[in-house]
């Protein structure tokens, strides 16, 4: 990976991803640590965004079945939001999905970022629901 960009790795969650998830979900949002540490990391692809070597964001992609995967644990450090890192993470996960033949992606978006995903072509599905104490909306995107 270049000094600035997004790296996607399979089956091994980078320590920097765990650190970012702890800062964003556990410390900032008050999500219980056990809700983040669900034991599924080894079965996922992990995207890690770096800017001049410093980790600034992460996400994971979990296969669900033939042609389908779920985007999870999308997190960008508070001080680095609104810089396009979320876009870059999602672009990297979509490219990795296409390469593996996963053309339907799902995710559970926190209510505060539904518009971010809508801007990227995601569509809401069903009614809002609570997950880890935060209101979410199921969303889906079909890749072309």
Q: Looking at residue 11, what is its pLDDT? A: 80
Mean local confidence (pLDDT), 126-134 = 95
Provide the percentage of residues in the chain whose pLDDT is more than 70.
98
User: At 12, is the pLDDT very low, low, confident or very high (cuts 50, 70, 90)?
Assistant: confident
Query: With 60 as the cut, is the pLDDT of residue 114 above it?
Result: yes
In this predicted structure, what is the pLDDT of residue 2? 53
**Alpha helices in the chain, H assignment, sequence order:** 15-21, 33-36, 85-99, 114-119
Which of 135, 108, 144, 143 shows the shortest CA–CA distance to 124? 108
What confidence tier does 135 reach under pLDDT thresholds 50, 70, 90? very high
Q: What is the pTM of this model?
A: 0.94
pLDDT digits (tens, 9 = 90+) for 45-59: 999 999 999 999 999
Q: What is the pLDDT of residue 42?
A: 94
Report the chain's terminal Cα–Cα distance, integer Å: 26
Q: Looking at the predicted structure, is the pLDDT value of residue 1 above 60?
A: no
């Amino acid at each position: 990976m270049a000094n600035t960009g997004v790296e996607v790795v399979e089956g091994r969650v980078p320590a920097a991803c765990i650190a970012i998830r702890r800062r964003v979900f556990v410390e900032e949002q008050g999500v219980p640590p056990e809700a983040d540490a669900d034991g599924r990391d080894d079965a996922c692809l992990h995207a890690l965004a770096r800017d001049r070597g410093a980790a600034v964001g992460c996400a994971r992609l979990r296969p669900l079945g033939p042609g389908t995967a779920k985007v999870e644990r999308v997190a960008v450090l508070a001080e680095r939001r609104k810089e396009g890192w979320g876009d870059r993470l999602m672009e990297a996960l979509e490219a990795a999905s296409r390469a593996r033949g996963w053309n339907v992606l799902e995710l559970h978006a926190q209510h505060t970022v539904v518009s971010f995903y809508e801007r990227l072509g995601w569509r809401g599905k069903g009614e809002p629901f609570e997950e880890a104490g935060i209101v979410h909306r199921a969303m889906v995107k079909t890749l072309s």
